């Protein structure tokens, strides 16, 4: 899903009474350091999520189990032990392909670092302690490489890696309440892989109501926590019920993390509907994740929204595409006047689900949208240069 979908949750900011924690931005390319303005938010909003995208690589989505597991689980819990993801799933499919491995560069060699998740076309969510000195506003890395769906010691042939351009951390961060870092990538690799959403939920019972997945890169053997041997080169997963919530943490009683998993997300999943991270792994014990609160959520959301001001190099000139009539109750005419070769048209609903894709294209087309329900949709036009144009369309009028 493209830039326009981000607009769905960036267009309007309500009258607010709260203010987020300040964020420090480190530019790894030129060495500059900036402090971002605090973000106002409405404290009466008790829950919110951004949109997810399945990306442009294909439309394949893993059918992840939503049943409460009762076998291969940590004793006393309903959360599974780690298992190699490729044994059960196609890791090139969504949402597994949004899981990334972080490498740091040391003396011109890449070394294992942490895990993370793509949360926009060019942003990765991970733990602050993966990039910064413990409880200090100073970095411990000067370069990072991000690789999606890295597995079995191999870079994924389907997806590009990207160097990290900027690192964002919360000012005066600490391990217990603000162990978050957002990595801005040099290349928008999320266009292909897609990305998961971020969210916060103030109601603990609603937050825990569902199945959570974790995709990560455990890096060593820790007896007696786990008898398996890990070296950080393979993607693993676990899933089940989260049962611990505190003001700043979310976890699984009796379950444990392994070094290398730090920064991986605890993702609430409902197939084809919800793929939302509510926190990143901070502590091994009880698989404890630093939980996204409203302060942290709106601050991170603002970073994603600010990216909208820096996307024109990837965009077709808006005047090159015209759509009419809009609104429409049946047919939509699309006329393209650009020089690049058309690649595909896609239509997404307001929840980020793809409802139509067309690859047999001409410069003037008529699309039958009579099957759509009343609502606002987003038309995405892609060219062979991987540039895009977006249009809001109102379809299903009169149904």
> What does the alpha-carbon distance between residue 53 and residue 194 come to, in Å, rounded to a whole number?
5
Question: Is there a domain that residue 4 lies in?
Answer: no
pLDDT of residue 322: 84
Please identify, among 282, 310, 338, the residue that sits at the C-terminal boundary of a domain. 310
Of 65, 42, 205, 196, the C-alpha closest to 123 is 196
pLDDT of residue 389: 60
Domain count for the chain? 2
Same domain, 299 and 363: no
pLDDT of residue 134: 93
Q: Which two tokens stand for residue 8?
A: 């769905």
Same domain, 359 and 286: no
Question: Is there a domain that residue 189 lies in?
Answer: yes
Same domain, 255 and 193: yes
pLDDT of residue 393: 76
Strand, coil or helix: 374: coil
State the CATH number of the domain containing residue 372.
2.60.40.3080
Of 395, 352, 335, the C-alpha closest to 370 is 395
> What does the alpha-carbon distance between residue 370 and residue 380 come to, in Å, rounded to a whole number?
18
Same domain, 325 and 305: no
pLDDT of residue 227: 85
Question: Is there a domain that residue 1 lies in?
Answer: no
pLDDT of residue 392: 65
Question: Is there a domain that residue 3 lies in?
Answer: no
pLDDT of residue 343: 81
State the CATH number of the domain containing residue 173.
2.40.10.10
Question: Is there a domain that residue 242 lies in?
Answer: yes
Residues near 313 by beta carbon (within 8 Å), at least 6 away in sequence: none
pLDDT of residue 375: 80
pLDDT of residue 328: 86
Give the total residue count for the chain: 399
Question: Is there a domain that residue 131 lies in?
Answer: yes
Cis peptide before 279 (omega within 30 of 0): no
pLDDT of residue 358: 86
Same domain, 279 and 374: no
Same domain, 60 and 15: yes
Count of beta carbons in the 10 Å neighbourhood of residue 26: 22
Same domain, 344 and 265: no
Question: Is there a domain that residue 61 lies in?
Answer: yes
> What does the alpha-carbon distance between residue 135 and residue 126 come to, in Å, rounded to a whole number?
15
Q: Which two tokens stand for residue 101?
A: 């491995």
Same domain, 149 and 231: yes
Task: Write down the mean pLDDT value for the chain.
Answer: 88
Same domain, 253 and 327: no
Same domain, 209 and 91: yes
Q: Which domain holds residue 385?
A: 315-395
Please identify, among 249, 279, 310, the residue that sits at the C-terminal boundary of a domain. 310
In the chain the first and final C-alpha atoms are separated, in Å, by 26
Question: Is there a domain that residue 143 lies in?
Answer: yes
Please identify, among 277, 310, 343, the residue that sits at the C-terminal boundary of a domain. 310
Residues of the chain with pLDDT under 50: 1-15, 309, 311-315, 398-399
Same domain, 198 and 177: yes
Torsion (CA) 83, 87, 88, 94 in degrees, nearest 10: 90
> What does the alpha-carbon distance between residue 74 and residue 328 come to, in Å, rounded to a whole number?
53
């Amino acid at each position: 899903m493209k830039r326009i979908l981000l607009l769905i949750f960036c267009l309007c900011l309500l009258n607010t009474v709260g203010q987020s924690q300040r964020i420090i931005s480190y530019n790894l390319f030129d060495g500059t350091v900036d402090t971002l303005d605090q973000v106002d938010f409405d404290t009466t909003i008790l829950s919110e999520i951004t949109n997810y995208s399945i990306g442009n690589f294909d439309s394949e989505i893993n059918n992840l189990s939503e049943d409460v597991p009762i076998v291969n689980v940590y004793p006393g819990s309903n959360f599974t032990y780690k298992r190699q993801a490729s044994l059960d799933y196609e890791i090139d499919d969504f949402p597994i392909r949004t899981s990334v491995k972080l490498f740091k560069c040391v003396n011109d060699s890449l070394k294992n670092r942490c895990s993370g998740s793509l949360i926009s076309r060019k942003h990765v969510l991970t733990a602050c302690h993966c990039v910064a000195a413990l409880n200090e506003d100073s970095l411990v890395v000067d370069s990072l490489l991000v690789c999606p769906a890295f597995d079995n010691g191999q870079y994924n042939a389907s997806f590009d890696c990207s160097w990290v351009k900027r690192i964002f951390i919360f000012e005066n961060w600490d391990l217990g309440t603000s162990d978050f870092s957002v990595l801005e990538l040099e290349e928008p690799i999320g266009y292909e892989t897609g990305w998961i959403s971020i969210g916060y939920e103030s109601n603990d019972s609603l937050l825990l109501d569902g199945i959570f997945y974790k995709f990560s890169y455990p890096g060593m053997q820790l007896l007696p926590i786990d008898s398996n041997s890990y070296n950080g080169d393979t993607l693993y997963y676990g899933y089940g019920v989260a049962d611990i919530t505190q003001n700043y943490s979310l976890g699984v009683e009796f379950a444990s993390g392994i070094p290398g998993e730090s920064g991986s997300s605890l993702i609430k999943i409902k197939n084809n509907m919800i793929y939302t991270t509510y926190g990143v792994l901070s502590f091994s014990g009880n698989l404890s994740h630093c939980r996204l609160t409203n302060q942290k959520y709106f601050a991170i959301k603002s970073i994603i929204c600010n990216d909208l001001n820096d996307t024109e190099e990837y965009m077709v000139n808006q005047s090159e595409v015209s759509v009419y009539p809009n609104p429409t109750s049946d047919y939509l005419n699309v006329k393209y006047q650009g020089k690049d070769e058309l690649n595909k048209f896609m239509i997404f609903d307001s929840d980020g689900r793809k409802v139509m894709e067309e690859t047999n294209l001409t410069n003037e087309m008529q699309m039958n949208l009579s099957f759509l329900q009343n609502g606002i949709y987003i038309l995405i036009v892609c060219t062979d240069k991987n540039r895009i144009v977006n249009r809001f369309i109102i379809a299903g009028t009169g149904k």
